[in-house]
Every structure is written in structure tokens, then in C-alpha cells.
Amino acid sequence: MTNIPQLAPRDWSSHPAHIYTGYKSTLLRGPKQALLPIKQSLAEMNRPVYGTDDLGPLDHDLTRNAVRNGEPLGERIIVTGRVSDEDGRPVSNTLVEVWQANAAGRYVHKADQHNAPLDPNFLGAGRCMTDADGRYRFLSIKPGAYPWGNHPNAWRPNHIHFSLFGDYFASRLVTQMYFPGDPLLPFDPMYMGVPEKTRDLMVSKFSLEVTEPDFALGYVFDIVLRGPQGTRFES
């Protein structure tokens, strides 16, 4: 008989609640009844196979992948890190996708009508594959804060959205990466809705080693897909 690996149960005490009163939209979309477990073989949940042929040479470089007539405006950054499973093993050859607002705090999306300028040379989306050691790397522009109407004078901190898969669909992670020292973090329900003991897992670390002289500041954001040290995910 083939040994089928087992996924460790999630530690729900370290993840955000499905309904958090400070985050208004969870009152409408969060489940109000107990979740029902569905038995399913891990063999039926294998992740999609992503080929590097589907990636463009600039997909990982948000400072160049949408250039039309000049450089995108804002502070250039490098974001890199290691993706691992619950046992610390690297998750190689998996697709990492990111999306974010531009330096003025505006998304390239019809639903975003925030009174801030769009940048014609910045799309705010990128993707790459992790290498054999589970590492990824993006070049981008530091996103700006923006109002979001959740409560009076509500502003989202600077953040980048991440989406990626582990070896199984049950290991899919959608999360947000924040920046160290952001003064808006204590006022943000999405961040504060996560138990205090695990909030720091969503905050990147500034790295002078990753920083490139005369070009961009560097940040490290390691991602763990499950387990006690698993990166907090969006419910």
C-alpha cells in the first residue's frame, strides 16, 4: 500500500476568525454555522502543474512588465523569501502570484475609484516560480496606503497580496504582506483581527543584504504553507 502523506490540522487559534466585528464585510460573508469536514483523498487534491514556459521574462519585475513610456513612479523595492511546507521543506517549482496598489494607493481595477492617480507604467501584478530551494524574488514599487470605508477615517496599511499553492490544494495560501514599522497597522482590522501571537508572521523584514546599492530597498518575507508557524491566510 502506498503511504499517503497527511496534512497537519490547522491551528485555528492562531488564525483570524471567520467573523471579526471590526472588519465589516466578514459579517456578511463569514460562515455562521459550524464548518462541515469533507473527506477527500490527497491524491485528488494534487496541485496544478505550472510550467515555466507560461511565464514571461518580466513577469516577476513589476517595475518593467507594464512600462509604456517611462519608469513607474515610487520607491523601488525587492521582495524575496523562501516558501516551505509545515515541516520546513522547500516548496520548489510552485507559482507565486502578487498584486498590489501603486505608489499612490490605487489599484488598476474598475472597482477602485479612489481619488488617486493611476500610473500608466505600473500594472501592480506579477508572478514567478520558486526555485529548487523554494525561493522567489520580485521587483516592485512600494504600495501606498488607501482609504477603504470600513470605518471612519479608515486607511489600509502598505501591503502586497500573495497567492500560492503547496503540494495540495489544501495548502493553497492567500495572504497579505505588510511592511515593518507601518504606523497604520494598529488601526487595521485585517491585521488586528489575527491573534497577537502570530501577527508578525505577516510582516516582512527589512534586509540590507537584499537591498541593492543605488537601486532598491530589500525586504524578506518567508512563507510557510501550514503548521504552527504557517503564514496567516485570508479566510
Which of 37-46, 166-175, 189-198 ranks highest by mean pLDDT?
189-198
The grid coordinates of residue 201 equal 508572521
Give the per-residue pLDDT at 1: 41
Q: What's the burial of 134, exposed, middle or buried (CB within 10 Å: 0-12/13-18/19+)?
A: buried
Q: Decide which of 52 and 199 is more confident.
A: 199
Beta-bridged to residue 76, according to DSSP, are 141
Handedness of CA 31, 16, 170, 7 (dihedral sign): negative
Residue 235 has pLDDT above 50, yes or no: yes
User: Are the C-beta atoms of 86 and 73 separated by less than 8 Å?
Assistant: no
Residue 28 has pLDDT above 60, yes or no: yes
- Lowest pLDDT segment from 68-77, 85-94, 109-118: 85-94
**Residues involved in catalysis:** 107, 146, 156, 159, 161
Give the per-residue pLDDT at 20: 73
Give the per-residue pLDDT at 48: 63
User: In a 3-state reduction of DSSP, which class is residue 55?
Assistant: coil
Average confidence (pLDDT) over 77-84: 97
Q: Decide which of 44 and 222 is more confident.
A: 222
Where helices occur in 74-184 by DSSP H, the ranges are none
Give the per-residue pLDDT at 36: 73
User: Are the C-beta atoms of 89 and 226 separated by less than 8 Å?
Assistant: no
Percent of the chain with pLDDT over 70: 84
Q: Decide which of 57 and 41 is more confident.
A: 57
State pLDDT tens for residues 154-193: 999 999 999 987 666 666 789 999 999 999 999 999 999 9
Average confidence (pLDDT) over 124-140: 96
Residue 25 has pLDDT above 80, yes or no: no
Please give the C-alpha separations between residue 133 and each of 37, 88, 98, in angstroms, as whole numbers.
33, 11, 20
Q: Which residues contact 232 (CB under 8 A, 6 or more apart)?
A: 14, 15, 16, 175, 194, 198, 199, 201, 202
Q: Decide which of 217 and 93 is more confident.
A: 217
